[in-house]
Homo-oligomer: A and B are copies of this chain.
Amino acid sequence: MKLWQKETPIDQQIETFTVGNDYILDFKLVPYDCLASQAHAKMLAKIGILTEEESARLVLELDKIAEQAKAGIFKILPEQEDCHTAIENRLVEKLGELGKKIHTARSRNDQVLTALRLYYKDALESCQESVTALSTSIERFVQKYGQIALPGYTHTRKAMPSSITMWGGAFVAAMQDNLSLVDASMNMIDQCPLGTAAGYGVPLEIDREFTASELGFGRVQENPVYAQLSRGKLEATMLHTQSQIMLDLNRFASDLIFFSMPEIGYFSLPTDLCTGSSIMPQKQNPDVLELVRAKYHSVFACEMQLRTTTANLISGYHRDLQLTKEPTMKGLEITNSSLAIVTLVFERLSVDETKCKEGLTEEVFATEEVYRLVAEGAPFREAYRRVAGRYKK
């Protein structure tokens, strides 16, 4: 077996090592970088670095690139490293000297930050929609089955009476809190870094308010040093939000896997969300839910990577920051697809009313018995001890 051979020439080894899969990841950033470059070109015209006509030609060419990207035709070659070079190369190829002017008053650093933030903002909007869609789906489920009572568990043991309304409502409440986290993340992301260049600004009078407003940012990220210092940090809060959403999905999936076991059977999983076994012909396994559960850990690992990469480093850009891109994009995408799948689960999930009723065995009502005694005048601790006596082994 020679899977691990190392006969690659040195230059290619270094290229592979430094570029990584950026040229693939960046495919998703092309439209965002085009938008940012258009705003930048307009601003350059506004401050007199470009003529209006030059700016218009750049904007037009960037429109074409964005369209080609949408159609899947625009390519980023490994030797171009990233979408930014690929786009600038295309501009030079099509527009000659004019193409060489687009990088005036910016650096690769703020260009990357801007494209990413635009992408993040779209991702967070989509996340907000997905969380809302899930809430709606749960609410519909609760409307359908909410009146059914079933045992609530503590310590993985029956505890007190609960209901589908109470159970489903918990996840709706969780999603409410998650929406406020999405808002907080959006608020942090929504600051425009364009014009901070390599983290120390540019020796030109530029109009940062203009580009920020053109791109729909809530505000300018004024301090150029902070633009770099906050890379990884802003992403971390965004991924924290995603992890929190995934944690709720993880707990939800854990509940469904558990409460749909034949031994318990309160819930029935839709068969098209179950999978068989390659050796055991009788099996109906909750694979989709197990993957939802496991994907929490994937998203969490993405977040972890962000949280440790920049620690112990001095301020200012380091190439280390490039490696924050993949886990951030991955974390956002896994969360988004998991939300969609769980929304689907809720649409198809059903409750087995008979099993729920059978589950409500006598001891589940022991606390109610205590409170009957309290109502008759017994101090709580006394009533408790009296009822507890009946359950002593």
Within the complex, which residue of B221, B300, B380 is in contact with A307, where a contact is CB–CB below 8 Å? B300
> Is residue A374 within 8 Å, beta carbon to beta carbon, of the partner chain?
yes
Q: Is there contact, CB below 8 Å, between B158 and A317? A: no
How would residues 303 to 329 of chain A score, 1 for a CB under 8 Å from any chain B CB and 0 otherwise? 011011111111111111111000100
- Nearest opposing residue in chain B for A176, CB measure: B226
**Are B157 and A285 in contact, CB atoms less than 8 angstroms apart?**
yes
- Whether B296 contacts A311 by the Cβ 8 Å rule is yes
A166 contacts chain B at the CB level, 8 A cutoff: yes
Complex partner residue of A247 from B244, B251, B310, CB under 8 angstroms: B310
On whether the beta carbons of A280 and B366 are closer than 8 Å, the reply is yes
Complex alpha-carbon distance, A11 and B276, angstroms: 16
Distance of A158 from chain B, by nearest CB (Å): 7
Q: Is the beta-carbon distance between A28 and B3 smaller than 8 angstroms?
A: yes
Given A153-B316, A283-B155, A312-B313, does the pair A4, B379 have CB atoms closer than 8 Å?
A: no
Known contacts A154-B199, A162-B200, A107 near B277 by CB under 8 Å: yes
Q: How many copies of this chain does one complex carry?
A: 4
Q: Is the CB of B180 within 8 A of A188?
A: yes
How far apart sit A316 and B129, CA to CA, in the bound complex (Å)? 28
Residues of B within 8 A of A354 (CB): none
Residues of B within 8 A of A302 (CB): 301
User: Is the CB–CB distance between B371 and A250 below 8 Å?
Assistant: no
Q: In chain A between 250 and 300, which residues have their CB closer than 8 angstroms to a CB of chain B?
A: 250-251, 254-255, 257-259, 261-264, 271-273, 275-288, 290-291, 293-298, 300
CB interface residues, A 171-186, toward B, < 8 Å: 171-174, 177, 180-181, 183-184
Interface status of A137 (Cβ within 8 A of chain B): no
Chain B minimum-CB-distance residue to A292: B17
Chain B hits for A327, CB < 8 A? 301
Q: Of all chain B residues, which has the CB nearest A169? A: B223
Asked if A13 CB lies within 8 Å of chain B CBs, one says: yes
Partner pick for A312 among B254, B321, B340, CB 8 A cutoff:
B254
Q: Tell which of A56-64, A72-80, A207-215, A233-241 binds the partner.
A: A233-241
Identify the closest chain B residue to A133 (Cβ).
B6
Instruction: Find out whether the CB atom of A244 lies under 8 angstroms from the CB atom of B237.
Output: yes
What is the CA–CA distance of A310 and B344 in the complex, to the nearest angstrom?
A: 24
Bound complex: CA A166 to CA B225 (Å): 7
Point out the residues of chain B lying under 8 angstroms from A157, CB to CB: 261-262, 283-286
Distance, CA A250 to CA B312, complexed state (A): 6
A351: Cβ under 8 A from any B Cβ: no
Q: Contacts A103-B278, A170-B225, A279-B370 known; list 13 others, CB within 8 Å.
A: A3-B28, A17-B337, A154-B316, A166-B200, A173-B222, A203-B371, A258-B314, A280-B366, A281-B369, A297-B309, A298-B305, A300-B307, A301-B304
**Chain B: CB-nearest residue to A361:** B262
| Residues in chain B near residue A13, CB distance under 8 A | 337, 340-341, 344
